[in-house]
Chains A and B, each alone.
Chain A
Amino acid sequence: MSPPGASGIRVASNAASAGPVLYTWRLRTPCTAEDAATVSCDSRTRACPPVEGRVIQFLVVQRQRLAQPDGNPVEDVPPPSGTATGAPYGPWITDGGSCVDVTDLNPPPSPGEVFQYFQRLPLPELETRHQPPGNALSGLPVIFYTDSPATQTFTVDIRGFTVIIDARAERYTWHTGDGPPITSTDPGRPYPDHTVEHDYDSGRYTARLTVTWGATFTVDGSAPADVPGTTTTEGPPVTFDVLEARPVLTNPYD
């Protein structure tokens, strides 16, 4: 474990030390290092400056003394009698929270790291379907739905770890082109089971669908965990005319 560099970032590594090894180290998230029941974890965490290609996390750094070959004290505390050389002893000493570059430890992808990948995935852009197809009639609601797939699975490689991201559409925002959007948690259905509709006056309108995606992920077959955040896709717009319906008397014998 290095001391903080000019950027304030410490570097964690399992590489052999040049001098005597005085400590064993451990890294903990603020919530495991302290009592999360009394203080919010978020208040103990701060953002770390991103460095391209490096994994940097805000962690609590703790160290424990290791018994030296000559039995000399480390930080003024000698090992208890009988302690084997190289064995840890004494209390864990907390160095406090730091931004730590843990890339060399090759940690599994964190939820935040997976979220960064999730935001860049080529998620489907769901198409807006409407009924009646083609032109619509004023006074007759226009039904919206989408029959595009609402789930998609991606397998990505993150620093050598196989990460499977199961994305699912969680919220549908229908921009009708006429007033505020309509929000639903289902993709709508065609007539007669429709759930999303809008009444238009006559005119030309352009509608589109924004989908909010959530996801779960697994790392090398682990139990699924939620991706901490959502992302959106914009579907292609569709334009249609709404015509004024005119009653016309017809001769049923014509």
Chain B
Amino acid sequence: MRRLPSRLTAASLLLGLGLSLLLGLGLGLLACNGCAGQRPVAATGDAAATDGPVVWLQGIIRLVGSEPHAEAVLTVAPAAGDPAGVSLDYYLTGPLSQEAQWLANQSVAVYGRTRQLELRLAGSSGRTRLRHELYAEIIRPQP
């Protein structure tokens, strides 16, 4: 994603102000349940998902992908004594996944259930991509 520099956003600001005023007129009706389903988020299918254990995992929070669709992952380094090991990325899901983005580059421990998905890629090749997810229930900074 690429944003606009400030000089090109005046119209956006005016539009935002107008929308804010309009929203203000809505008073307390903002909690309308009817809105809930109007912003569907592209969700991973779970047809090929395998639920894993509930665990504590330690690693670094990273943001990956490009804006505005960057995602938070917990990158778990290879175990000590395994210098040629492979670090593993767990894409964070659940309500804390957005908050986790604000902890980018920090060492943390995350508690939650892991799962592994086999995501089908587009096209006729039938290729798939593995993705490890961690449903974050607790995130604690680590010393």
Say whether A and B bind each other.
Answer: no
Residues of B participating in the A interface, judged by any CB pair closer than 8 Å: none
Residues of A participating in the B interface, judged by any CB pair closer than 8 Å: none
